[in-house]
Structure 1
């Protein structure tokens, strides 16, 4: 009889264990209650036990494992995953979300593939950050009145050839339009969105959809989308827009955050403007064939 087993946990206690032992604030909430609530969205949370002692835990819901963690002094990550999979014989675990880098190689050996690695970055807002546009370009507040199809087209052209297109493929224009409209609605209470306009060509050169959602913990500002059209690269437009959002968000909040796909060339820009990275985390799925 196996000494290992899995047992459903009470989610409030589970959340405390997960926050402490995961040792990673991947969303950079900087807030105890926000991190607890981030874990307590479901009661499908489970302990991994060895001889009735807890060695770890994870949320296991509809074939997806999320927020896995080991409990000190247990440190054998390969054994943790072996036990979890063996205890889930009645569940086809096809996806694993929120995987920390130290688990990626372990899961590759179990037949999983890396889908995408993501990372959140934060920086202070600051009203004294200087930023200036070159002659011939103007800055405008991005409102609902701006045609969402035009915005979606700009985003698709700005992201074309980037890491997200490489991983996920080119999105459908209608899906991008819906995403733009969703973000504009989310940020409507404090909309910080902007776009840069080429006065000579009479078209958008770059845009940044940003703002403060009523539901985001601590009232942090968030950058949902930022892109510059290929013809306008190397003019420091991305830097200008990030600095502008940092400066203008200061009257509402002390922090602005964003999330990006690891491998994005814009990471260097984010760091140069002052964004500080949180832990990297991966999404993985079972390899087919």
Structure 2
């Protein structure tokens, strides 16, 4: 997608697997509201947290893909049976008049990101002000809380879905995948119920905060993509994920390019909206891209 070989693609996002790769590759990755896009035909990982959505060079391309992808599908039991707006047509709404809350403590304290990423988020806030939005700081529960309950639910559901498959041929699967899923066997029923209870509390806390703002702004990655051999096996558990909160809540969330770091690799921001207000997230992302120059730079490709 970043190289321009295709207009876009589709992905699944259970803890950030659309938005994380999009952030590191400098493209737009959109996780819709839970239930808005059918997951029929997608290999499941965690039923209550799996989302399907588009990855494309621009938010506009994501909106066009959403026009084709969104809608009720009886083949997915979690599919929402409700009217679907025109996402591409909705881009005209822009960002003017929106109230955008910066979840500063997530990326400055809970998971301290690089200084260039912090500067890029602050610059993005300035861009949105210039587009007519009101930008203010908001406080949400700690990032660690979303990750603790999210990963307990994720590994429990993943193990439940794939237990027979893992028991019959454990060695046939990738080491990282199987080791992570095997953690689900160690989660007790009491642990899972506590995580489910905490999930409801976190959803309620975010919903309360979003009575005062229309969108949330934070980081989707800590900075530029690191070398692959520099990523610890259990990196997910060493620092809380910046994308996991919106899998826990099921809200729409968009990762888009916000510049380039010292190494010449992409930086990113993340925008999230209220459930089923996906069109507002896409409209704001499109407005930001139109007000910045980041979509004019494609990666250099060797012959």
TM-score band, normalised by the shorter chain? under 0.3
Which of the pair has the greater relative contact order for Cα pairs under 8 Å at 6+ separation? 2
Rg larger in structure: 1
Q: Which has the higher strand share?
A: 1
**TM-score normalized by structure 2?**
0.22
